[in-house]
Amino acid sequence: MRGPVRAAGATTRPIWTLAALWILVTVVTLVIGPMGGPSLERAISTMLVYLVAVVGLYSFVGNSGVFSFGHVGFIAIGAYSTAAFRIPAATKAALFPGLPDVTLGMVPATIAGGAIAMLAGAVIALVVCRFEGLAAALATFAFLSIIFMVASNLKSVTGGQTGLFGIPLTTTPESALPWALGAIAVVWAFGESRLCLRLRATREDEVAARSIGIGVVRERVVAFTISAFFCGVAGGLMAQYLGTFNSQAFYLDLTLLTIAMLVVGGARSLSGAVVGTIFLSLVREWLRTMEGGFAIGPVSVSAHPGLQNFGMAVALLLVLLFIPSGLTRGKELGDLLAAPVRSIRSRRIQPVVELTDEEGGTR
């Protein structure tokens, strides 16, 4: 029996997508970032953190077609877990007695945060992945609400409403870039696997997929677990960027932002997750600078607090109105880059068509 066949029109060189995404993220981080001063560099740091989270969210939502409002819960688990291993021992002993005595470096602590989130994701997936449509979305939101309530009240471990502090600030554009590139590579490789192709089949037509023997639940559980790991990693990076945080940092605002980044870019492609994150991150930074007031020639505009949220809402509405499938229209950058090449080749090759009449002659 043959393995899954790629959809017609898919690029014969899917590695182009990975290369294009790596180049795009690297250029934005190392070339554009330093051009804007410290403010833009901070925006690039948060962009890379969001990128890891949104790519993780895509690995489940984009491939399965099942929406999730609860992945920020895994970001919270990763953030608190990483912080538990990064806060100095003296601070933990004096203020957070429920935290472990072990202190780790940035890389092992971030991996530990992702691993703990992945374990939580594997357990939650066994329940969530059995639901469909709105029921699955509500189940994930219930999980997020549980995480929020626990983090808000478990003072000895999470600091309660006060939160955790004293976390070393080690997330910079240079330190976060390898994590973002690694997340893109792993999720791209997963997307090229047979398991993910079967998962996409369930996204397109679940009944037909079940009829040919595709196990819907198993494929979704694997994707959900992978997505939980990268959301946990993003939480660890965020904790080491903020230095101090409480449960409010991982609730509705972040949920809506990550979903908006995925939808604006195009929820059905990895390129959409990356492009949407970069686009909205840069738009947010530009709007943030506009909030403080600006001048265009002789015209001066005073400060307008709230302009950032208003502008983000307008940008989201415009994209949904004019490009419902997202900025990438659900396509990968590899396909978009290969399209001109295929067009040139098709023009060079002119097929010769012979018409045969009823008597067998050639016209």
Task: Give the mean pLDDT of 40-52.
Answer: 96
Phi, psi of 170 (to 5 degrees): -120, -5
The mean pLDDT value for 233-243 works out to 97
Confidence label for 245 from pLDDT (cuts 50, 70 and 90): very high
Summary mean pLDDT of the chain:
87
- Per-residue pLDDT band for 12 (boundaries 50, 70, 90) equals very low
pLDDT value at position 113? 96
pLDDT, average across residues 112-121: 97
Confidence of residue 5 (pLDDT cuts 50, 70, 90): very low
SS3 199: helix
Cα gap 281→134, rounded to integer Å: 28
Residue 216, pLDDT above cutoff 60: yes
Asked whether the beta carbons of 269 and 284 are under 8 A apart, the reply is no
Q: 253: which 2 tokens?
A: 């605002």
Give the chain's domains with CATH numbers.
18-294+303-342 (1.10.3470)
pLDDT of 14 over the 80 cut: no
Query: What is residue 7's predicted lDDT score, i.e. its pLDDT?
Result: 43
- In this model, does residue 13 exceed pLDDT 90? no
Can you give the C-alpha Rg of the chain in angstroms?
23
Mean pLDDT along residues 118-126: 96
Residue 122 amino acid letter: A
Please state the φ and ψ torsions of residue 299, each to the nearest 5 degrees. Answer: -90, 125
Sign of CA dihedral 17, 68, 218, 4: negative
The two tokens of residue 217 are: 């639940």
Helix (H, G, I), strand (E, B) or coil at 350: coil
Tokens 């945060």, located at residue: 113
Give yes or no for residue 2 having a pLDDT over 60: no
Q: Are 273 and 57 in contact (CB under 8 A)?
A: yes
Buried b (16+ CB within 10 A) or exposed e, 239-276: bbbbbebbbebbbeebbebbbbbbbbbbbbbbbbbbbb
Picking from 71, 61, 129, the residue whose alpha carbon sits closest to that of residue 268 is 61
Residue type, 189: A
* φ, ψ for residue 12, nearest 5 deg: -80, -5
User: Cα separation of 164 and 113, whole Å?
Assistant: 15
213 pLDDT tier (thresholds 50, 70, 90): confident
Q: How confident is the model at residue 345 (pLDDT cuts 50, 70, 90)?
A: low
Distance CA 191, CA 11 (A): 14
- Residue type present at position 301: V
pTM for this prediction: 0.88
Read off the amino acid at residue 245: F
> Which residues make Cβ contacts (< 8 Å) with residue 286, sequence separation at least 6?
none
Alpha-carbon distance 118 to 59, whole Å?
A: 13
Cβ-based neighbour number of residue 362 at 10 Å: 7
Residue range 76-116, pLDDT digits in tens: 999 999 999 999 988 888 888 888 888 999 999 999 999 99
What are the E-state strand segments in the chain? 294-296, 299-301
Q: Is 303 left (phi over 0), alpha (psi -120 to 50) or beta?
A: beta
Q: What are phi and psi of 300, to 5 degrees?
A: -115, 130
Burial pattern 37-56, b for ≥16 Cβ within 10 A else e, equals eeebbbbbbbbbbbbbbbbb
Say which residue the tokens 């609860």 belong to.
70
Interval 250-296: pLDDT, tens: 999 999 999 999 999 999 999 999 999 999 999 999 888 887 766 66
| Tokens of residue 97, six digits | 């007695």
pLDDT at 138: 94
* pLDDT tens, residue by residue, 145-201: 999 999 999 888 898 888 999 999 999 999 999 999 999 999 999 999 999 999 999
- For residue 288, the model assigns a pLDDT of 86
Report yes or no: 125 and 247 within 8 Å, Cβ to Cβ: no
- Position 352 pLDDT exceeds 90: no
